[in-house]
């Protein structure tokens, strides 16, 4: 299949072989896999070379100093040799018919700009659960997402990096991953793409999102309030001819992420910033959640952390 698979690699020595093996097991193979080693300090790169020596898969390997996944993906896009770009994180994997499903979507919806499938989560204790995808038509297995903002608001992200394929020309028109954001750079890109292009989607659960890595929230991994996602969303909202239905769902989708930031500040002990964010949120959809977070910001933080830990460990 004429498709480039781009894998950003940073210290995933225990996961990268499983990731690559899932590509080798595809019913339809890609004609190139591009691995961008993002300054790994463990044995990740060594294991990639060892794997390449044992397979016929066309694996191209490049390295640079640590710049983050966005910069690595962007480099991979620019040096790719195909018109379709697939992304796969080094600790994630694909089910056997993922690329075959993408190929079917491309043939069925040639004018779409993005092709995606449903996905599953691999939880810390090893369970596999289906992503809670809402707001996406279910009348057929292969569909077009008619309101990305609604789908992004009501459930888990309808587009997730390791379950998405993008036409290369799209990047020339709307730009690449925003490299300055420490997290959420993919959500900003999907928002920009969804605003201008159709999204073809399959209900085949073709990818596995590895959430076995620690979910501990610290000051270093809180999504900043000045990230590009909010800038892009506000720009779209300011467009005079934006459909009112889209406008409502997009506004509340942005509120969803403001609330997530407020929650994260709360879990790191910064209740004052949590309340500051909450006071600026004008929401109908998440009014109960807003008040609930405000209530929790008034109680001792040690209790908040304990309850969060109990909830998370249930997974």
Query: Residues 176, 307: one domain?
Result: no
Q: In the structure encoding, which two tokens stand for residue 285, read together? A: 């959809």
Query: Residues 201, 223: one domain?
Result: no
Query: Residues 119, 231: one domain?
Result: no
Answer for the pair 198, 144: CB distance below 8 angstroms, yes or no: yes
Q: Could you tell me how many residues make up the chain?
A: 315
Query: Residues 225, 104: one domain?
Result: no
On whether the pTM is more than 0.85, the answer is yes
pLDDT above 70 (res 73) = yes
Query: Residues 275, 304: one domain?
Result: yes
**Structurally, how many domains does the chain consist of?**
2
Query: Residues 270, 290: one domain?
Result: yes
pLDDT above 80 (res 311) = no
Residue ending a domain, choose from 210, 241, 276: 210
Query: Residues 130, 71: one domain?
Result: yes
pLDDT above 90 (res 304) = no
- The arithmetic mean of pLDDT across residues 136-153, rounded, is 96
Residue ending a domain, choose from 146, 181, 210: 210
Please give, one letter per residue, the 3-state secondary structure of the chain.
CCCEEEEEECCCCCCHHHHHHHHHCCCCCCCEEEEEEECCCCCHHHHHHHHHCCCCCCEEEEEECCCCHHHHHHHHHHHCCCCEEEECCCCCEECCCHHHHHHHHHHHCCCCCEEEEEEEEECCCCCEEECCCCCCCCCCCEEECCCHHHHHHHCCCCCCHHHEEEEHHHHHHHCCCCCCCCCCHHHHHHHHHHHHCCEEEEEEEEEEEECCCCCCCCHHHCCCCCCHHHHHHHHHHCCCCCCHHHHHHHHHHHHHHHHHHHHHHHHCCCHHHHHHHHHCCCCCCCHHHHHHHHHHCCCCHHHHHHHHHHHHHCC
Give pLDDT tens digits for 210-252: 987 644 444 456 666 778 999 999 999 999 999 999 999 999 9
pLDDT above 60 (res 313) = no
Give pLDDT tens digits for 125-134: 889 999 999 9
Q: Burial level of 86, CB count in 10 A (0-12/13-18/19+)?
A: buried
Cα gap 99→32, rounded to integer Å: 13
Query: Residues 204, 258: one domain?
Result: no
Query: Residues 276, 131: one domain?
Result: no
Answer for the pair 253, 230: CB distance below 8 angstroms, yes or no: no
Residue range(s) defining the domain that contains residue 286: 219-313
At residue 54, the pLDDT reads 95
Cα gap 25→275, rounded to integer Å: 49
Residue ending a domain, choose from 210, 234, 253: 210
pLDDT above 50 (res 315) = no
Give pLDDT tens digits for 261-294: 999 899 888 999 999 999 999 999 999 999 999 9
- List the CATH number of the domain containing 74: 3.90.550.10
């Amino acid at each position: 299949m004429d498709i480039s698979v781009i894998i950003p690699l940073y210290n995933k020595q225990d996961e990268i072989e499983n990731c690559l093996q899932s590509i080798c097991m595809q019913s339809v193979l890609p004609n190139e896999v591009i691995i961008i080693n993002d300054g790994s300090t463990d044995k990740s790169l060594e294991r990639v070379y060892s794997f390449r020596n044992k397979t016929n898969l066309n694996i191209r390997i490049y390295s640079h100093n640590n710049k983050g996944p966005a910069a690595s993906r962007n480099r991979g896009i620019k040096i790719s040799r195909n018109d379709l770009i697939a992304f796969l994180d080094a600790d994630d994997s694909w089910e056997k018919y993922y690329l075959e499903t993408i190929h079917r979507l491309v043939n069925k919806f040639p004018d779409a700009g993005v092709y995606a499938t449903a996905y599953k989560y691999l939880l810390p204790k090893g369970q596999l659960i289906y992503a809670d995808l809402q707001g996406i038509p279910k009348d057929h297995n292969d569909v077009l997402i008619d309101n990305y903002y609604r789908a992004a608001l009501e459930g888990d992200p309808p587009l997730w990096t390791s379950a998405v394929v993008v036409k290369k020309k799209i990047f020339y028109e709307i730009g690449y991953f925003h490299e300055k954001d420490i997290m959420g750079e993919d959500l900003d890109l999907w928002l920009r793409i969804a605003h201008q292009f159709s999204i073809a989607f399959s209900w085949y659960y073709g990818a596995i999102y590895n959430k076995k890595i620690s979910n501990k929230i610290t000051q270093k991994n809180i999504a900043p309030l000045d990230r590009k996602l909010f800038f892009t969303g506000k720009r779209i909202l300011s467009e005079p001819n934006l459909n009112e239905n889209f406008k409502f769902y997009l506004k509340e989708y942005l509120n969803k992420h403001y609330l997530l930031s407020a929650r994260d500040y709360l879990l790191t002990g910064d209740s004052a910033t949590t309340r500051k964010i909450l006071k600026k949120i004008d929401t109908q959809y998440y009014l109960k959640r807003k008040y609930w977070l405000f209530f929790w910001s008034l109680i001792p933080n040690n209790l908040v952390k304990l309850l969060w830990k109990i909830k998370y460990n249930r997974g």
